Chains A and B, each alone.
Chain A
């Protein structure tokens, strides 16, 4: 789950930073049938997913994202991690969409984050783009072109394709799903708080065989690996008492994948709606309830400016699946400081499953530890 990501407003757009305040307001909205008073649709149980339709945008909901993360390597073993995410944040609800003539009046803002982790060089490349898409330079569509901002693009045809470039660092990847989309939560209805109707519609393609190239400092590397694709849309995700979250998306070498998220409350407790999903090699899924996993931070990393301390090492236990593992990262500094700060980076997992050694790779996301997010430092204080 990538709940609350609509907070990641672009730093390039000072006005957008006002979302912090807006989010609190959104979070506090009462449910009003299926629509908010502004006219936005709320995530509700029973949504009928259909593919490829749901790869495309859902403009009746306020927030939405297309989220790709992955671990890649060259033939000779040089390893990279990447993230390419497109966000849509709605300004004008369907009810507010009066006909306009100005190209600058748009229904939503488009923004994207792009990172590449170069493990050998221990470097993390970050870029962000924001646009209102007044000139068709950014947008979301059903069909072959799912999301784009300038030359950053996510396409869908026979398979998925992703490309992005910034300051001599780029990716150009083809992604082929090895598993069917997994509906997260209850048939895709993912609750984000124990009370109220804070929820999203959420599905993932947890394992995509990935091939293509990574360019770093104008040097091109042919790479292959595995990516994770998250799709989520919502209007009213978060509760006011929530502080941030820890999200894990892991692909194990035995072919199984799992996703776990913990929502941290401002009082330091963990929200009971925290949960996860296990997907085995055949695509069968097992729900992981809040009480069914134990996460213990084992290592912390503090940013150079001392503004945030992130728990970047974890011990994970899921008893019902017989998993006992350490999660660690090869590169400490994978913080995105793009106005809103969060840590999102590639991780490695090592441990046992049913007493058999198991290892894998994945991505970890940590939010609410610095800059603008409520609840800074709860975990680090533990």
Chain B
């Protein structure tokens, strides 16, 4: 027979005859593929957006000097030997008071020197005439992106308001900024007019360079450094891009790993699917074998079937994945803005190579899952296959080697975790997690066997319970695989829940200790763009004049380069009520040391990133040159996974002649009303709209919102894991009922009632789900420990004590068992149908 026809008759027609089962099969592959692809598209789009955000500014430069640069030194920089072109740049993030939460990233550029650097074009907008006179002569002329103009209903010549500190100014839409792949929030105007507008006269935020030998910029860097203030950092845009990428890499890798896990679950599901197919089609196998089809032919048939489902699954998965990606991109974009850099991922880019990868992965998943059942089908002797009367399934003996393997993999989990921490090899931390999942799977046979025997012993007189427990043990390996599949999904669910819960408890604890002031004040711009703009001294004086204010703390950040890496330096003048908690204890002593001259403290992630230890001395570039500082301690901090270096304000004042602050917090006298102070600050300070005044409760709300937002994708994946688990349960019970047709028929003929049969199958569903849930919880806990203590530490450097949210896990377990039993209802009803005479007759 033509192999294609053979395939059509045996696979396609069969698939069409069982639409629900087919759909489930396809869906089980599709979900894994969809999740994996969605995450890949999201990560890729995020990287493109992040790279574009660097590229649009410094894409064509070989070097970028960033920091507070006096524009008077620019001509000297231009003349540095080895530097072939240079252009000054002033960047400002401005908020738009007429559009809540909106901002513009204003670039002040110099068209006379930026020709070789320009990555965007300034074009005419609408019907307006394009004239450069306006660019240079109109103080309010700005070029905005088309998307920005459209989404804000702005035409050529329209004006809109921007907030710069406490003042609000008008800008006129004069040109269109065309930046391929650039963020829609970009806007450009002449550097001179931006200096005038923002009051940054004489100031540049960066200078871009092209050098004669881009492969060896070091000599030019050396010469430039002699001219630039020590606080200015010099780097290549590539290193900046890769820094940004590295910053989010941990976050993205975690998402990827979770999505890979969903593919892994797919392997188990396919195993079940094909097993079901083998069982259901034993007579067909028998006929085929009798007609001379070889063992290889049979195996090929089932592998082809798996491949067929996989291909359908892959196609559906790609479609679903692309749809899912659009949702993920929004969430991830917000998370990246909240946690890392202000960006907006506006376009989704499909990494076409990933389409290939995901197709191959989907297919491999299918074939790997189908391999064992296909081999079993091939081994089946024709006579046995044809004769339903023969024992369909031999009782499977428990093989202790699975237990040995389980113990070995536990050992490997610990070993790889330990090495991951010791050598800081991130990939090993994932190996550790994968091994933890594998260990849970390997425990499945032992657990199924143990639980089955235990129940059978306890309920030896309740024959239905005993029978179902024995059934559990009899198809030990198939049931083990089912339990392992479900267990994996449950483990993912549980581990993520534990991780989020532990994060949350740690965060609460940290907030309880560090967010203690009554009122927090910062600029609205800082709320959007991170610490960037400053609070007016007038506002500080105004707030200090409040009789309710007992004390005030202040904070500001600035980037510094330490050991060649960009580090955020936080400058604080804190109230004694708010003291950091140090790694290794000795808080009081370390706090005192921190107040000593030339002392700083490093947050835990930073210490890990730079390899810092308490007592170590580090060089920090200050306006007075590189100065040595003592690391007085490593403190727990969860505000940034890139880490923070903290310096006391009086220490900062020794080297920086800059008294500006970016945030203040107020401690009120006991008995004062926070609401009254907030109300007064908001209404009676002129220019109060430029600031966000938040009570302690409000700020905690914001922190919690960011926290929840960060875990939205994780939650999405968790939801999908739950869906996969449920599909698995339905699938497996359908197989069980089919397998037990003969036995059920015997039971019926012996007088078993429909109700009893229903109960039997439901009991089996219950036990199966129970094993899976127990397995999932054990695996989940193990995975959570690896996630928090290994992956989390190697990627983010945070110490997160693991806390088990039993009150959350228990309902999930109960829910799953409930769903399992419910899922068993359909196959159970099928089993309870009184139409099994055909089956019984075939035994005779």
Contact = CB atoms under 8 A, between A and B. Distances in A.
Nearest to B118: A14
Contact of B131 (A21, A106, A130, A134): A21
Contact of A137 (B75, B130, B192): B75
B166 interface: no
A109 B137 CA distance: 11
Nearest to B75: A135
Interface residues of A, number: 31
Given A96-B137, A109-B136, A22 B131 contact: yes
A320 interface: no
B111 interface: yes
Nearest to B76: A135
A216 interface: no
Given A18-B131, A21-B131, A100 B196 contact: yes
Nearest to A23: B131
Given A14-B111, A130-B112, A21 B130 contact: yes
Nearest to B122: A15
Interface in A1-48: 9, 12-19, 21-22, 25
A22 B137 contact: no
A15 to B, nearest CB: 4
A105 B71 CA distance: 13
B71 A92 contact: no
B111 A105 contact: no
A104 to B, nearest CB: 3
A203 to B, nearest CB: 27
Contacts of A131: 112
Nearest to A103: B71
B196 A22 contact: no
B302 interface: no
Contact of A102 (B74, B130, B132, B201): B201
B130 A18 contact: yes
Nearest to B110: A104
B121 A14 contact: yes
Contact of A104 (B75, B132, B192): B192
B131 A104 contact: no
Interface string A189-233: 000000000000000000000000000000000000000000000
A15 B110 CA distance: 10
A135 B74 contact: yes
Nearest to A11: B115
B193 interface: yes
Contacts of B110: 104, 132
A102 B108 CA distance: 12
B596 to A, nearest CB: 41
Contact of A25 (B122, B131, B195): B131
Contacts of A18: 124, 130-132, 135
Interface in B131-161: 131-133, 135-137, 139
Contact of B192 (A12, A15, A25, A106): A106
Nearest to B199: A101
B129 A25 contact: yes
A14 B122 contact: yes
B132 A22 contact: yes
A301 interface: no
A91 interface: yes
A102 B192 contact: yes
A105 B74 contact: no
A105 B131 contact: no
Nearest to B130: A18
B637 interface: no
A103 B129 contact: no
Contacts of A102: 191-193, 195-196, 201-202
B201 A101 contact: yes
Contact of A105 (B132, B192, B202): B192
A106 to B, nearest CB: 7
B176 to A, nearest CB: 13
Nearest to A13: B111
B190 interface: yes
A13 B112 contact: yes
Q: How big is chain B's contact interface, by range?
A: 20 to 34
Contacts of A106: 136, 192
A104 B137 contact: no
B196 A21 contact: no
Contacts of B130: 18, 21
Contacts of B132: 9, 13, 15-19, 22
Contact of A132 (B112, B121, B124, B131): B112
Contacts of B192: 100, 102-106, 132, 134
A22 B121 CA distance: 18
Interface in B338-383: none
A102 B75 CA distance: 15
Among B112, B132, B193, max chain A CB count under 10 A is at B112
Given A15-B122, A104-B190, A22 B115 contact: no
A12 B110 CA distance: 11
Contact of A12 (B74, B112, B122): B112
A13 B202 contact: no
A130 B191 CA distance: 17
Given A105-B192, A106-B192, A12 B115 contact: yes
Interface string A164-203: 0000000000000000000000000000000000000000
Contacts of B124: 18, 21
Contacts of A100: 192, 196
A91 B135 CA distance: 9
A357 to B, nearest CB: 50
Given A25-B131, A92-B137, A15 B111 contact: yes
A98 B193 CA distance: 12
B192 to A, nearest CB: 3
B90 to A, nearest CB: 9
A14 B115 CA distance: 7
B243 to A, nearest CB: 30
A62 B561 CA distance: 48
A325 B202 CA distance: 59
Contacts of B196: 100-102, 105
Interface in A75-115: 91-93, 96, 98, 100-106, 109
Interface in A138-156: none
Nearest to A62: B133
Contacts of B121: 14
Contacts of B115: 12-14
Among A15, A98, A132, max chain B CB count under 10 A is at A15
A91 B137 CA distance: 5
Among B111, B135, B193, max chain A CB count under 10 A is at B111
Interface in B482-525: none
A22 B190 contact: no
Given A103-B192, A104-B110, A15 B74 contact: no
A16 B111 contact: yes
Contacts of A137: 75
Nearest to A16: B132
Contacts of B191: 102, 104
B342 to A, nearest CB: 26
Contact of A19 (B118, B122, B131): B131
A109 B132 CA distance: 11
Contacts of B139: 98, 105
Contact of B135 (A9, A15, A101): A15
Given A103-B71, A132-B112, A91 B193 contact: no
A152 to B, nearest CB: 15
Nearest to B203: A102
A130 B112 CA distance: 7
Q: Closest 5 A-B residue pairs measured CB to CB?
A: A104-B192, A105-B192, A102-B195, A91-B136, A22-B131
Given A13-B132, A104-B71, 10 more contacts: A14-B115, A14-B118, A15-B132, A18-B135, A91-B133, A92-B136, A98-B139, A102-B195, A105-B190, A109-B112
13 contacts: A13-B111, A14-B111, A18-B131, A25-B129, A25-B131, A101-B202, A104-B71, A104-B195, A105-B193, A106-B192, A130-B112, A132-B110, A132-B112
